[in-house]
Amino acid sequence: MIKKILAPVIIVILGSIVIAAYGYFYLFVFRKMNLPVIANIIIILIIIALIAALIAVFIQRIKELKEENEDDISKY
């Protein structure tokens, strides 16, 4: 069971890091352009929404793995 959960955990961690890095990059670039504060807030909300969606999918995947029958191959 741990082996099945390990890959999704690694993907969520790496995905969150990549999304956060993109967000930091865009905030850094847009700060140099002197955009209004609302633009920065929108970027932060988009990044938070993407990470939240990634975590929601991760939770669904963990539930699927827990409900999965070990003997699924015998059905085929």
pLDDT reported for residue 20: 92
pLDDT reported for residue 33: 82
Which stretches in the chain have pLDDT values below 50? none
The number of residues in the chain equals: 76
pLDDT reported for residue 70: 60
Residues of the chain with pLDDT > 70: what percent? 88
Residue 76 belongs to some domain of the structure: no
Could you give the CA distance from residue 65 to residue 2 in angstroms, rounded to a whole number? 10
pLDDT reported for residue 32: 80
pLDDT reported for residue 7: 87
Task: Supply the range of the domain harboring residue 63.
Answer: 2-68
pLDDT reported for residue 67: 80
Contacts 24+ apart (CB under 8 A), 46-49: 47/19, 47/20, 47/22, 47/23
Residue 9 belongs to some domain of the structure: yes
Residue 73 belongs to some domain of the structure: no
Q: Are 20 and 47 in contact (CB under 8 A)?
A: yes
Q: What is the DSSP letter of 58?
A: H
Q: How many domains does the chain have?
A: 1
Residue 74 belongs to some domain of the structure: no
| Average pLDDT score over the chain | 84
